[in-house]
Amino acid sequence: MKVTIQSFDANAKGADIELNDEVFGIEPRPDILHRVVTWQLEKRRATARGTRERADVARTGKKFGRQKGGGTARHGDRRAPVFIGGGKAHGARVRDFNPSLNKKVRALGLKMALSSHAAAGTLVVMDSLTVAENKTKTLLANWANLGAGKTALVIDGDMVEQSFALAAGNVHTINVMPAAGANVYDILKHDTLVLTRAAVEMLEARFNG
């Protein structure tokens, strides 16, 4: 699959880049994408800190008073929730929100997410993300020429170009991340996917290595 490389420089001549069909040319499957997104969101959930219930409290189990005639309520031991130091009644319990998902399915889901943007024509490949003087105004002027959608995810190589990161810091419709952070949920959530040449090389090497 060939894609024309775009640039913020209006005078730059756009060359073509050949995208690996095994990464950017796979037919997306909704069931695979759903499984990966569900797994990803489940991994983000934090579990509650478990409280000590009646069986977890280290107190004597001896009946501390006689059943009748003591002038107090009838209690079996000091572990009861009504006592200070007793167990918590109906307390929070640790829950497991981290289901497992096969690595091959996760990798396939990421390929399909990339391929979905390539098939829809919402994939943009840039030669560089350098923004003059780190200015947001300059970025927005150049960004309008890309024809990007309402929201965009920009993925760079090892590190995000600092001038672009500074210029896009105040633009809530543009999110940036390095290639190592590429994930299915963020890719599908945005209208446009913008990759640098370095990001394309790293993503293809990630699956071929």
pLDDT (tens digit per residue) in 19-40: 999 999 999 999 999 999 999 9
Residues 112-149 have pLDDT tens digits of 999 999 999 999 999 889 888 889 999 998 888 887 88
Continuous H helices in 87-161:
103-120, 136-143
pLDDT above 90 (res 95)? no
Mean pLDDT (whole number) for 100-106: 94
Share of the chain above pLDDT 70, in %: 97
**Rounded to an integer, what distance in angstroms lies between the CA atom of residue 41 and that of residue 45?**
7
Q: What is the pLDDT at residue 145? A: 81
pTM of the shown model? 0.79
Backbone angles phi, psi at 18, to 5 degrees: -90, 115
- Residue 167 and residue 147 in contact, taking contact as beta carbons nearer than 8 Å: no
DSSP 43: H
Residue 44's contacts (CB-CB under 8 Å, 6 or more residues apart) are: none
Per-residue pLDDT tens over the stretch 156-194: 999 999 999 999 998 999 999 999 999 999 999 999 999
Using only the alpha carbons of the chain, give its radius of gyration. 28
C-alpha distances in angstroms, 109 versus 58, 113, 137, 193?
48, 6, 36, 16
As a whole number of angstroms, the distance between CA 186 and CA 155 comes to 11
- pLDDT, position 74: 86
Hey, is 109 helix, strand or coil? helix
Contact 198, 161 (CB under 8 A): no
**Is 178:129 a contact under the CB 8 Å cutoff?**
no
**What pLDDT sits at residue 11?**
67
Q: Is residue 103 helix, strand or coil?
A: helix
- In tens, the pLDDT along 48-83 reads 789 999 999 998 888 888 889 888 888 888 898 999
Can you tell me the distance from the alpha carbon of 56 to that of 93, in angstroms, rounded to the nearest whole number?
12
